Structure 1
Amino acid sequence: MTLAIIAIIIGFAGLIWSADRFVSGAAGIARNLGMAPIMIGLTIVALGTSAPEIVVAIEASLLNHSQLAVGNAIGSNLANIGLVLGITALVSPIPISSSIIVRELPLLLFATMGALLFLSDNYLGVIDGIVFLLTLSGILYYLINNKSHQPNVEEEADVDLIPDIPMVKGWLLFFLGLTALIISARILVWGAKDIALAMGVSDLVVGLTVVAVGTSLPELAATVASAIKGHHDIALGNIIGSNLFNLLAVMAMPALINPSALEPEVFSRDYLSMAAITLFLASILYFHRLRAGAGKSIDDLTAPRKMGRIGRIEGALLLLGYVAYYYILFP
């Protein structure tokens, strides 16, 4: 078991390092090819935040451990909202942008409720995977068109983060990052599988806990560090975007590669818990919108501006919800 723990640590470290190189290389290539900065930010950079989860899901599915891949997707969404946003709000309240409430949040709710219907039969098949990827493509198309007509300061800041590197260096980083991602994911899946066997728990539980928290650690570290520095305006948008990719891209991998029946608990316990904490986050955001919108016109509500903050009490409630899920998982 010691070797398995070492493998998981090496796997996580490798995923974090390689995902950064992979995204830098891919974004640099796209920039050299003349791809619009907004499109790079919404596709390549956004994909990069979920690259560890996606590659782990592919490797797990290829090795016939689809339950681990599904657990990783659901567990990462739970961790992003309950753990990452909860702890960040405790450190420093998170500003809420009106554009998130009007644009990104409804898309996350739509994806969450849509995936719920597809998983309610406790089977993840090829049709499900195709629908998930088509839905993600439609969402990205909508966001790219929407943002290209409504640029704002936050998006301009994202554009500045896109690396301006030579084409050759871009390709080197891309292939180096991709190769390291695949190797790191395989090491991680091997370690997770051995831990599951040693502890007598299922692949699903390991995916929901160890793997999910591990792949969410970079987002937690980056978000909390930004909060301490007072630069976490886009933290909420990043989490919502990451959760969209987890639901529609990560979940599609086991569906397409290794279609299989799901354990009944995946829907009745895990997915419903994830949907519940997502709806709770939505209720917090809509409450702030209603409070900020008292006496305001529709134009005022849709204009890019701040609409309150996720405060420490709300952060504590999100974190408490995440802890409560663990109580349900390990009664």
Structure 2
Amino acid sequence: MVSPVLMNVVLAIVGTAVVWKGSGLLESASEQLSAYYGLPAAVQGAIVVAIGSSFPELSSAVISTWLHGDFGLGVAAIVGSATFNLLVIPALSGILADGVEADRTVVYKEAQFYMVAVSVLVITFALAVIYNPVSLDGPASIGGEMTRSLAMIPLCFYGVYIFTQYHDTMDHEAETPPEDINPIRQWAYLAVSLVLIAVAVEMLVLSALGFRDMTGVPSFIWGLTIVAAGTSLPDTLVSVRAAKNDEGVTSLANVLGSNVFDLLVAVPAGIIVAGTAVINFSVAIPMMGFLTVATVVVFAMLRTELHLSARESYILLGLYGLFVTWLVLETLDVTHFVPGA
């Protein structure tokens, strides 16, 4: 008889492998479609590739909330993935490509709109606590019920983001698309890749829930680690490869665009599907607070000379190491910055 530990480990490994395979197919189809429709580099990275590579995070939010009734796991997976995307992916890109070049579009539009996205989600959670308070276990826990009407707030802001990207495409002079691209075939490949990723994410979620039941460690910790790491693979592959090809703008735009999509679309998507979900404000806000600090650090580094150096990349890796260390200390009850856990 297979032990529960082995089963959960196998689910995590197989799920990650299928995400890897599906993401490779997704990346190829996204690039082909972007070339066919003549999209500018910033829009290609921030919209087409970012939405495609963020589908695992979207799936984790919907599956966790709708199928398993654990909205906190989905939010943790997205916040963990956003932190990984923001710190590790640019760091790996900067180290492997010996620095990543940015431009004013990435710094003044993508990075700043991402800061807005973080603020919008925090405000939405706060509104849930203020207008729909919920009693949770534990004297320090503060909860609120997220409704479909509240979920529309971040979705509307993502509409603004799409609107700004649309105007960039209007000013862009597209090159002649390659003649050997079959758009129907590429859309079919894209659809297949999304199905593969959805199945893989269900494996990752089941693995996280299994480890929660076995160890008693809150599901948000497993969401921040197992699910977040597995779902961040597509963004890692896309951004690192773009950086090594001297496409720094596409690399950074994909990271920031993916995180904007995760926060403004993936999180509310689970609520839209399920109808309502309870958010543990005491758990969510410390995590969002760290994400805010990481965002400010990355923005400051990109703003200096519009370049992320290899030295700055190692600093970002160190900051992510502090994040993981903090999670371990919280799990061991050494620190108590997350009282609602």
TM-score by length of 2: 0.78
Which residue matches 2:325? 327
Q: Cα distance, 1:136 vs. partner?
A: 0.8
Which residue matches 2:201? 185
Offset from partner CA, 1:79-126 (integer Å, 9 cap, x none): 011211223323321112122122212211111112121123353332
2:299 aligned with 1:276, yes or no?
no
C-alpha separation between the residues in 1 aligned to 2:179 and 2:85?
A: 24
| Aligned residues of 2:87 and 2:316 also touching (Cα < 8 A) | yes
Relative to structure 1, is the Cα distance of residues 267 and 172 closer, same or farther in structure 2, using a 3 angstrom cutoff?
closer
C-alpha separation between the residues in 2 aligned to 1:321 and 1:106?
A: 20
Which residue matches 2:263? 247
Give SS of 1:54's match: helix
2:154 aligned with 1:132, yes or no?
yes
Which residue matches 2:54? 50
2:124 aligned with 1:118, yes or no?
yes
Match of 1:15 among 12, 16, 19: 19
Give SS of 1:164's match: coil
How many correspondences in the alignment?
304
Which residue matches 1:87? 92
Identical aligned pairs, as a percentage? 19
Which residue matches 1:68? 73
C-alpha separation between the residues in 1 aligned to 2:179 and 2:300?
A: 33
| Aligned residues of 2:124 and 2:153 also touching (Cα < 8 A) | no
Offset from partner CA, 1:206-252 (integer Å, 9 cap, x none): 11111111211333344344445544442111111111111111111
C-alpha separation between the residues in 2 aligned to 1:204 and 1:163?
A: 46
Relative to structure 1, is the Cα distance of residues 171 and 116 closer, same or farther in structure 2, using a 3 angstrom cutoff?
closer
Offset from partner CA, 1:305-328 (integer Å, 9 cap, x none): xx4411233222222221112222
Report the AA paired with residue 15 of structure 2. G
Equivalent runs, 1:100-179 vs 2, <5 Å: 100-120=106-126, 121=129, 122-123=143-144, 124-150=146-172, 164-165=181-182, 167=184, 169-170=185-186, 172-179=188-195
Which residue matches 2:278? 261
Give SS of 1:235's match: helix
Match of 1:311 among 287, 309, 312: 309
Relative to structure 1, is the Cα distance of residues 22 and 164 closer, same or farther in structure 2, using a 3 angstrom cutoff?
same
C-alpha separation between the residues in 2 aligned to 1:180 and 1:116?
A: 31
C-alpha separation between the residues in 1 aligned to 2:7 and 2:178?
A: 38
Give SS of 2:101's match: strand
| Aligned residues of 2:33 and 2:186 also touching (Cα < 8 A) | yes
Q: Cα distance, 1:145 vs. partner?
A: 1.1
C-alpha separation between the residues in 2 aligned to 1:312 and 1:115?
A: 31
Q: Cα distance, 1:135 vs. partner?
A: 1.2
Offset from partner CA, 1:111-169 (integer Å, 9 cap, x none): 11121211233533322321111211221111111342145xxx86xx979982252x3
Report the AA paired with residue 198 of structure 2. I
Q: In angstroms, what is the RMSD of aligned CA positions?
A: 3.0
Which residue matches 1:236? 252
Q: Cα distance, 1:271 vs. partner?
A: 0.8
Relative to structure 1, is the Cα distance of residues 36 and 82 closer, same or farther in structure 2, using a 3 angstrom cutoff?
closer
2:4 aligned with 1:6, yes or no?
no
Which of 77-86 and 117-126 deviates more?
Answer: 117-126
